[in-house]
Structure 1
Amino acid sequence: MSDESANEESASQAKPLSAVARRCLGVLIEKAKTTPDAYPLSLAGIITGCNQKSNRDPKMNVDEGDALRALDELREAGAVREIQGSGRVTKYRHAAYEWFNVDSPGSAIMTELLLRGPQTLGELRTRASRMHPFVDLTAAQAEVGSLIEKGLVFAVTPPGRGQTFAHCLYTPVERQHLAAKVEKQASEESSAKSAPAAGAGSLANEGRIDKIQQRLDDVTARLEALEAKLADLES
């Protein structure tokens, strides 16, 4: 086999998907990792996972018709396979490793982005660790960098504290909305920074507030990860 053929086979097949299709794919990967005894999933299981309250953003109210259309979309794209379960119940399994051309760490990061939308590196590391352990932030950063090289992830905001990352499976219209939202937030932050300074004491307070906010974000992410584990155990 030529090098060119090998590269074509190892390349990612991922492409933009509808919002419900992305949620269904994320649910299938998540449940395969966190509740393997209940995997592959039935249609009812997929719907329950899509409408789950914990570890989901935005919240959804997916019905049977929505899920079936999304699964048809995923099958046509090559991301999901339909199998015959026990009792002739149709079940579904993902083909994410081949479709994304990623291993376990990469699929964990992609799953969190599919289920929760744009997130910071710290949030991704904490939340994805329930599916694959990331020893530190550097390990998560290396994996995100690899996904960026594959064209699966992009940086939503410029480098710096709180830099946000997103997956590349948004539709063109969604990408435009996301870019407009980020531009608006950047403009608001810039206006706040350009306001007259209120003295050294105020600047020091702002620095302390930033540190407190960062710690709160970390704690929130950890609590959400624990809630997701509890939800998986309950299911």
Structure 2
Amino acid sequence: MTHDFRTRPLSAAEARVLATLMEKARTVPDSYPLSLNSLHSGCNQKTAREPVMTLSEAEIGDALDVLRDYSMVIESSGSRVPRYEHNFPRAASVPDQSATLLGLLMLRGPQTAGELRINADRWYKFLDIASVEAFLEEMLDRAEEKGGPLVVKLPRAPGAREQRWAHLLCGPVDTSAPAASEVPSGDSALAMRVAALEASVATLQAQLADLNEQLGLSQPGQP
């Protein structure tokens, strides 16, 4: 029986697994669909993740079972090891642009429209912040017959210039929780360079994990 995430929200682990598959489909297409080993590395990477998580392969396997039941993940056959790919836009009935924003919110936590535009660069190139806001507002105003809102706009934090957005795939969000401190505007260029370097390192780690698996080699730090 296929379930619906609107009646049973995703767990934090399920959201991380789903969003990691969504990210790697865009950033490492040559290694996609992902093996369990590569997915494990992607879920637990230390960069471009908020919060950083430490999921076991068993926990990831359980999450994959639920996501398959929701038709959000498909297991590929015909290869030496099982591989997994997401089916999120079709399962959630959202366009690719909205799926990109939801994936980033699942991976990195609440963000402003400006932060989302920067972080989405390797997934989807939005024309401007206004186009990001348009898709966010569309998900905020999503009709109940279509499942209701998929995002929420958080109250403006003291001293912040922009409001942050959060996803609702894991259920209601505590809008009273304090927002993470924003990067000062004078450091925005540096922040973008650091984010780009972190993304490059994460891509290389995923490619290395996939290559090691194809060669039958153990991962660094594993016996």
- Scaled by the length of structure 1, what TM-score is found? 0.73
2:175 to 176, 179, 182: 179
Question: Is the CA contact 1:55–1:225 (under 8 Å) kept in the aligned structure 2?
Answer: no
- Residue 147 of structure 2 is aligned to residue 134 of structure 1: no
Partner in structure 2 of residue 100 of structure 1: 92
Q: Deviations over 1:109-162 (max 9, x none)?
A: 111101011111111110012210012211211121222233211102259822
- Residue 70 of structure 2 is aligned to residue 74 of structure 1: no
1:145 to 132, 137, 147: 137
> For 1:66 and 1:156, how far apart are their aligned partners in 2?
30
Partner in structure 2 of residue 214 of structure 1: 185
- Scaled by the length of structure 2, what TM-score is found? 0.77
Partner in structure 1 of residue 215 of structure 2: none
> For 2:92 and 2:184, how far apart are their aligned partners in 1?
34
Partner in structure 1 of residue 162 of structure 2: 162
Displacement after TM superposition at 1:71 (Å): 0.8
Structure 1 residues 98 and 14, CA, compared in 2 at 3 Å: closer, same or farther? farther
- Residue 76 of structure 2 is aligned to residue 83 of structure 1: yes
Partner in structure 2 of residue 3 of structure 1: none
- Residue 78 of structure 2 is aligned to residue 112 of structure 1: no
Q: Deviations over 1:71-92 (max 9, x none)?
A: 11111222111221412x1111
Report the number of matched residues: 191
Question: Is the CA contact 1:113–1:167 (under 8 Å) kept in the aligned structure 2?
Answer: yes
Question: Is the CA contact 2:140–2:151 (under 8 Å) kept in the aligned structure 1?
Answer: yes
- Partner AA of 1:106 in structure 2: S
Partner in structure 2 of residue 229 of structure 1: 200
Q: Deviations over 1:184-206 (max 9, x none)?
A: x6xxxxxxxxxxxxxxxxxxxxx
- Partner AA of 1:171 in structure 2: G
Question: Is the CA contact 1:27–1:115 (under 8 Å) kept in the aligned structure 2?
Answer: yes
Structure 1 residues 143 and 226, CA, compared in 2 at 3 Å: closer, same or farther? farther
Long gaps (5+) in structure 1: 1-12, 186-209
- Partner AA of 1:166 in structure 2: A
> For 1:162 and 1:222, how far apart are their aligned partners in 2?
21
Displacement after TM superposition at 1:222 (Å): 4.9
Question: Is the CA contact 1:122–1:218 (under 8 Å) kept in the aligned structure 2?
Answer: no
Structure 1 residues 222 and 138, CA, compared in 2 at 3 Å: closer, same or farther? farther
- Partner AA of 2:55 in structure 1: V
For the pair shown, which has the larger CA radius of gyration, 1 or 2? 1
Displacement after TM superposition at 1:221 (Å): 4.5
Task: Report the 3-state secondary structure (helix = DSSP H, G, I; strand = E; otherwise coil) of the residue aligned with 2:184.
Answer: helix
Higher helix share: 1
> For 2:83 and 2:204, how far apart are their aligned partners in 1?
20
> For 2:136 and 2:189, how far apart are their aligned partners in 1?
18
Percent identical among aligned pairs is 37
Task: Report the 3-state secondary structure (helix = DSSP H, G, I; strand = E; otherwise coil) of the residue aligned with 1:97.
Answer: helix
2:32 to 12, 22, 39: 39
Alpha-carbon RMSD: 2.3
- Partner AA of 1:146 in structure 2: E
Structure 1 residues 96 and 231, CA, compared in 2 at 3 Å: closer, same or farther? same
